[in-house]
A and B are shown apart, each in its own frame.
Chain A
Amino acid sequence: MDHLDALEAQSIYILREAFARLKKLALLWSLGKDSNVMIWLARKAFFGRVPFPALHVDTGKKFPEMYAFRDIYAKEWDLDLRVDPCPPIDSVDPTLPPAARSAARKTEGLKLALAKYGFDGLIAGIRRDEEATRAKERVFSPRGVEGGWDVRDQPAEFWDQFNASPPPGAHLRIHPILHWTEADIWAYTKREGIPIIPLYLSQNGKRYRSLGDQDITFPVNSNAASIDEILLELETTKVPERAGRALDHETEDAFERLRVAGYL
């Protein structure tokens, strides 16, 4: 069993545990490389079908290529796609810096969708290597009734025994690819032939490492025009993956504040 097989097997185990132990699950689909791998893994785990809805909490500010991708693959992958809009910017905490405030709309959109559908589990494609507070996540991460993450009181989680009993009104975030790295995602995408959004590949010396909303995501300098070239670039680059994400850089704790409040 090689490295990618081991990652895949662990993710499938987590997805099946979530499906077995929670009543109302949804998978958060942000259309990016990580959540596409996650949907692929779900199809592997459940032998070709995704037995829960794919939820796209839509800020309305994604790139056109992302919307096109969603429409094609929701159909081709036979997903039960739910698209839910985010509330307008003036309903979001005005003390947040601009990019973080813009991103926080997604948290609010998530809360509305949770209330609307009554999900007790949300499967999300975050990875430990992306960002320092994500590195501290559990695989099954309890969220409070308000969607908040209490980082000081995370339950013990060991030997692949997950805590899957959220109190009434609260929910769990399930992180099946927490143990993957950015390079793992690309190597697996290539091996499995998972479709990607072309924005990840270099055009005119620039490409997106991470895809968020148009207004708060920026391309990085790169000549990597294929997955192989991306993998080579990742071998040597010291530029962090979220360098093009404005909200990470506004204040020291902007991201942590967002995550504690329920952001992914």
Chain B
Amino acid sequence: MTIAVPPASLAADAVRPLVRIVIVGHVDHGKSTLVGRLLHETGSLPEGKLEMLKAVSARRGMPFEWSFLLDALQTERDQGITIDTTQIRFRTPSRDVVLIDAPGHAEFLRNMITGASQADGAVLIIDALEGVRDQTRRHGYLLQLLGIKQVAVVVNKMDRVEFSAARFGDISNEITAHLTSLGITPTAVIPISAREGDGVAARTDNIAWYDGPTVVEAIDKLTPAQPLDALPLRLAVQAIYKFDDRRIVAGRIESGHLRAGDDIVIMPAGKIAKIKTVEGWPVTPLAGAFGAGRSVGITLDRELFVERGDVIGHAGNAPRDTRRLRARIFWLHDQPLTAGVSVLVRLGTRETRANVVAIEKAVDPGDLASEAATEIKRNHVGEIDLSLSQPVAADPADNNPRTGRLVIEINGRIAGGGLVLSVDSGQRAATADIVPVESALLPGERAARYRHNGAVLWFTGLPGSGKTTIARALERRLFDRGGSPILLDGDTLRAGLNSDLGFSPADRAENIRRLGEIAAHLAANGHIAIVAAVSPGLADRAAARRIAGDRFREIHVATSAEVCEQRDPKGHYAKARSGGLPNFTGIGNDYQPPTASELVLDTAGLSVGEAVAQVETMLAQTDVLIEDPADLAAHI
């Protein structure tokens, strides 16, 4: 048996959008029949197919059966069910459609997901007589989890309820409420009889009371999935090829763009390089930009260890590295997923062992009943906390659907999959493996030599307020008196340690977190870490204070915005005014001034020396500086 349909796409009319739709719903609600009817109504059936189906039906002593068109397998025909997903093409007036027929049986949920995961939109089918069933709700839930937001609902077998508008209204309300609760707005709810053809391509007298779109019209309104080009660059490394003198990093651009000359970061290691060339065949190297979906090969300007599983992003806009993930997953394996088990996690091209640290939530999406969250049963959904044995580069699924999803493998087979809810780069995974090494020196030994205790001096304020100037003068002053001050300037660290971070709120928070960690480490070892960073967020500075504890001293350089802009030592204000620095703090007014800092300095009426003296006084009063006995004597 053969299905041939007219070609869906010819070079000549490549402008027609191609949409992939999946037909889902409870078993026996009429998916395959609808598919058969759709192909027939859109003139997509090959010659002789109708006659052949009639013959097959007659041979089995059955009335004409549309579903035999797709349910090609003998077992499917014998049992009247769809076991596995099928893809077939047809055309609506303005779309090329790849139609994915997905099985409704609960046992074949993995096949439904296999089919639906490739779809841009979905048709959810409901039997008018039976109404909304468990599997209807489950499929709705999974569509949402798979990221499918365009869902057209068809209420089938209206002939079995005498085309009752009231019955249709009840079902329509129930399913709309369910989908809305999942964050999906149905694009249409359509009363049909797939077997008879009502509502499929034409509104018939039977449903004269209905004035919405037909199924064909509803499909014609679905749009291809949103392009991923607009997101930041993510290149999933598949392999490194060294077939000749080139060392080619091969992989697919999951989102964003790249071109030769770009500054890139290779995550999770955070190595920095420049793209030297984009390689191709038969022509190489290739010029121009390459966007999401492309499989490319690039060479780098330096010899770096890059490997399969790495993710390449642009400098300043790279994904996070983490060994700890929170994910919402659907589970397909016979054995329930429990806390404490070891699984294989695959995220893009990275593969790593992982431990299920906790099951946070478990729900049967069929009846939406929450269960005791100790395990996730087959065909159920849950939220889990994973500890990975290797670091991975990932994004939360909300930020990037491609680098924010994972699958779980058991015994070499995909057993579940889901979305990354959060990437916890702050927490180290598998804390049992990490044994911090203590300094060989006692805190008192350094304090005795430096005549100060360890501290974090956190200078915050608008760009141009004078933070760095005071911090440097203070550094000199403390060193001259025999101390061990260390300047941590925000911009300086961004050039190296933090070069993978951009200026999004999340990246800024991470920037401050790292500054805070380093400063706290220095302070714990008796040094005075002088941090000069705009650090505009109250919450971020509060986090830094938590890390350093009682060694933290906040100094607010409260110079007014007008004075700062007048000074403009780095030319940033001028550049920002002309639109060249979109995320610049100061013009954008996103600076949150401290409410309770240890010291406030306004440099408008204060010399650098006076400012440093005020800091020293504060440090002496808050037990950071240890007054010399000799000095004390001089004051007597």
Chain A residues at the B interface, C-beta cutoff of 8 Å: 1-6, 8-10, 12-13, 16-17, 19-20, 43-49, 51, 128-133, 135-136, 138, 151-152, 154-159, 161, 163-167, 179, 181-184, 187, 190-191, 231, 234-243, 248, 252-253, 255-256
Given A135-B87, A256-B72: A240 in contact with B46 (beta carbons within 8 A): yes
- Interface pair B89/A158, CB less than 8 Å apart: no
Q: Which of B1-42 contact A (CB under 8 A)?
A: 1-12, 14, 18
Residues of A contacting B88 with CB < 8 Å?
128-129, 135
Residues of B contacting A242 with CB < 8 Å?
2, 4
Residues of B contacting A236 with CB < 8 Å?
6
- Interface pair B295/A138, CB less than 8 Å apart: no
Given A17-B238, A47-B281, A132-B70: A156 in contact with B2 (beta carbons within 8 A): no
Given A20-B238, A158-B118, A231-B10: A255 in contact with B1 (beta carbons within 8 A): yes
Q: Which of B64-78 contact A (CB under 8 A)?
A: 70, 72-75
In this complex, what residue of B is CB-closest to A129? B89
CA distance A172 to B8 in the complex (A): 29
Given A49-B243, A135-B87: A240 in contact with B279 (beta carbons within 8 A): no
Residues of B contacting A238 with CB < 8 Å?
4, 6, 45-47
| Residue from the set A132, A133, A167, A235 with the largest chain B CB neighbour count within 10 Å | A132
- Interface pair A129/B3, CB less than 8 Å apart: yes
Given A151-B83, A183-B10: A163 in contact with B243 (beta carbons within 8 A): no
- Interface pair B243/A155, CB less than 8 Å apart: no
> B295 touches which one: A12, A48, A49, A241 (CB < 8 A)?
A12
Given A154-B111, A158-B414, A231-B11: A132 in contact with B72 (beta carbons within 8 A): yes
| Residue from the set B7, B241, B250 with the largest chain A CB neighbour count within 10 Å | B7
Query: What distance in Å separates the Cβ of B413 from its nearest Cβ neighbour in chain A?
Result: 5
Residues of B contacting A51 with CB < 8 Å?
243
Indicate whether B104 reaches chain A with its CB closer than 8 angstroms. no
In this complex, what residue of A is CB-closest to B107? A152
Indicate whether B291 reaches chain A with its CB closer than 8 angstroms. yes
Indicate whether B322 reaches chain A with its CB closer than 8 angstroms. no
CA distance A251 to B58 in the complex (A): 15
In this complex, what residue of A is CB-closest to B75? A152
- Interface pair A181/B9, CB less than 8 Å apart: yes
Residues of B contacting A6 with CB < 8 Å?
293
Query: What distance in Å separates the Cβ of B82 from its nearest Cβ neighbour in chain A?
Result: 10
Interface string of B566-582 (1 = CB under 8 A from A): 00000000000000000
- Interface pair B243/A133, CB less than 8 Å apart: no
Residues of B in contact, count (CB < 8 Å): 68
- Interface pair B7/A3, CB less than 8 Å apart: no
Residues of B contacting A237 with CB < 8 Å?
6
- Interface pair B239/A132, CB less than 8 Å apart: no
Given A129-B3, A129-B89, A155-B110: A47 in contact with B414 (beta carbons within 8 A): no
| Residue from the set A4, A159, A242 with the largest chain B CB neighbour count within 10 Å | A159
- Interface pair A129/B11, CB less than 8 Å apart: no
CA distance A77 to B246 in the complex (A): 20
Query: What distance in Å separates the Cβ of A247 from its nearest Cβ neighbour in chain B?
Result: 11
Given A156-B114, A156-B332, A256-B74: A132 in contact with B243 (beta carbons within 8 A): no
- Interface pair B9/A157, CB less than 8 Å apart: no
Query: What distance in Å separates the Cβ of B263 from its nearest Cβ neighbour in chain A?
Result: 24
CA distance A171 to B46 in the complex (A): 35
Given A154-B111, A158-B417, A240-B3: A187 in contact with B10 (beta carbons within 8 A): yes
- Interface pair B3/A131, CB less than 8 Å apart: yes
Query: What distance in Å separates the Cβ of B107 from its nearest Cβ neighbour in chain A?
Result: 10
Interface string of B260-283 (1 = CB under 8 A from A): 000000000000000000011110
Given A159-B417, A161-B414, A234-B6: A191 in contact with B11 (beta carbons within 8 A): yes
Known: A16-B295, A47-B284. 17 other contacts (CB 8 A): A3-B9, A4-B11, A4-B14, A8-B295, A43-B281, A44-B280, A47-B246, A47-B280, A48-B243, A49-B243, A129-B5, A129-B89, A152-B83, A183-B7, A183-B9, A187-B10, A239-B4
Indicate whether B323 reaches chain A with its CB closer than 8 angstroms. no
CA distance A238 to B297 in the complex (A): 40
21 A-B pairs with CB atoms under 8 Å apart are A3-B9, A10-B293, A16-B239, A20-B238, A44-B280, A46-B243, A47-B243, A47-B281, A48-B282, A129-B88, A132-B2, A132-B70, A152-B75, A159-B405, A161-B414, A163-B409, A166-B412, A184-B7, A235-B6, A240-B3, A240-B46
CA distance A183 to B297 in the complex (A): 28
- Interface pair A156/B10, CB less than 8 Å apart: no
Residues of B contacting A132 with CB < 8 Å?
1-3, 70, 72, 86
Residues of A contacting B56 with CB < 8 Å?
252
Residues of B contacting A49 with CB < 8 Å?
243
| Residue from the set B6, B11, B241, B415 with the largest chain A CB neighbour count within 10 Å | B11
- Interface pair A240/B72, CB less than 8 Å apart: no
Query: What distance in Å separates the Cβ of B328 from its nearest Cβ neighbour in chain A?
Result: 14
CA distance A231 to B405 in the complex (A): 39
- Interface pair A161/B2, CB less than 8 Å apart: no
Residues of B contacting A45 with CB < 8 Å?
250, 295
Residues of B contacting A16 with CB < 8 Å?
238-239, 250-251, 295
CA distance A43 to B407 in the complex (A): 30
CA distance A3 to B293 in the complex (A): 11
Residues of A contacting B117 with CB < 8 Å?
158-159
- Interface pair B1/A135, CB less than 8 Å apart: no
In this complex, what residue of A is CB-closest to B110? A156
Residues of B contacting A190 with CB < 8 Å?
11
Query: What distance in Å separates the Cβ of B551 from its nearest Cβ neighbour in chain A?
Result: 46
CA distance A167 to B413 in the complex (A): 11
Indicate whether B195 reaches chain A with its CB closer than 8 angstroms. no
Indicate whether B320 reaches chain A with its CB closer than 8 angstroms. no
CA distance A256 to B73 in the complex (A): 7
Residues of B contacting A181 with CB < 8 Å?
7-9, 89
Given A235-B7, A235-B10: A9 in contact with B295 (beta carbons within 8 A): yes
- Interface pair A136/B308, CB less than 8 Å apart: no
In this complex, what residue of A is CB-closest to B405? A159
Indicate whether B252 reaches chain A with its CB closer than 8 angstroms. yes
- Interface pair B86/A135, CB less than 8 Å apart: yes
Interface string of B354-367 (1 = CB under 8 A from A): 00000000000000
CA distance A10 to B413 in the complex (A): 22
> A9 touches which one: B284, B294, B405 (CB < 8 A)?
B294
- Interface pair B281/A128, CB less than 8 Å apart: no
Q: Which of B292-327 contact A (CB under 8 A)?
A: 293-295, 297, 308
